[in-house]
A and B are shown apart, each in its own frame.
Chain A
Amino acid sequence: MIDALSTILIVLSAALSVWILVYIVRDRTMDNPLLLGLVALEVGLIVQLVVGIALLITTDDTDVNRLSFLGYLFGILLLLPAGVLWSQGEKSRSGTAVLLVATMVVPVLILRLVQLWG
């Protein structure tokens, strides 16, 4: 589905992952610019949800597993907020690494969405 949007979101996730990796190496915790980057990705994921639902409504394709597709569209939105919250519980290198887990799982879920759309 929506190849351009998926690609943009995957590239953005990868860029944020590299950014976070640099912070882990330098033993830095999340600051406002990084938080802003994560918010930008989250907004992109919300756009993906809206576009995804619009696609589901307009398609006649019955092969799409609608329940799973919706599950991924909504589930993916929880990753970054949960990651940020859990990360804030410990201001340390490991706390920052939690953010990396979140930004690395996002592209995997986007690829699953693309796969589900077929």
Chain B
Amino acid sequence: MNARAEGTDRGLGRVLVAVYAVFAFSAVGRSTVQLLTKADEAPLAYGLSALAALVYVAATLGLARAVPHADRVAWVAVIVELVGVLAVGTLSYVRPELFPDATVWSQFGQGYGYLPLVLPFVGIWWLRRTAAHTLGASA
């Protein structure tokens, strides 16, 4: 693994992108259904669902190097993701009445085996690791 990890989409990044893609796909699906059928019921929760969907799509594309400025896109996405899951996770415990319906980030992603909480940390670790590789190679 050490020798061949040169980009965020190689090596372990291959698996990470796949996991992010699953989240992107399901978050977009869930958010679309929510906004199409009951947008007015819980505007905050569904707005955050839509934001989460965008973040997962951006992280997937960035890590997969499928967009220009992929590194920057990926960094912004995983940091917004981390802030999002921490903020929404906390808020869903402190002010549960704001979340009559679940979002991917409420209760720190409990409904998804806390994977939404773990994922941004893995993403940041991976981006740092691959960045260190690139620097190491050019030095």
Instruction: Show the binding face of A for B, using Cβ within 8 Å.
Output: 65, 67-68, 71, 75, 78-79, 82-83, 86-87, 89-90, 92-95, 97-98, 101-102, 105
Contact = CB atoms under 8 A, between A and B. Distances in A.
Contacts, number: 48
B33 A86 contact: no
Nearest to B4: A92
A97 B25 CA distance: 19
A98 B15 contact: yes
Contacts of A90: 10-11, 14
A71 B22 contact: no
B37 interface: yes
B14 A75 contact: no
A78 B15 contact: no
B36 interface: yes
Main secondary structure on A side of the interface with B: helix
A75 B36 CA distance: 17
B10 to A, nearest CB: 6
Contacts of A82: 21
A86 B36 contact: no
A94 B12 contact: yes
A75 B29 CA distance: 9
Contacts of B11: 90, 92, 94
Given A95-B14, A97-B15, A67 B37 contact: yes
B19 interface: yes
Contacts of A79: 22
Interface in B10-35: 10-15, 17-19, 21-22, 25-26, 29, 32-33
Contacts of A102: 18
Nearest to A112: B26
A71 B11 CA distance: 31
A89 B63 CA distance: 14
Nearest to A71: B29
B25 A101 contact: no
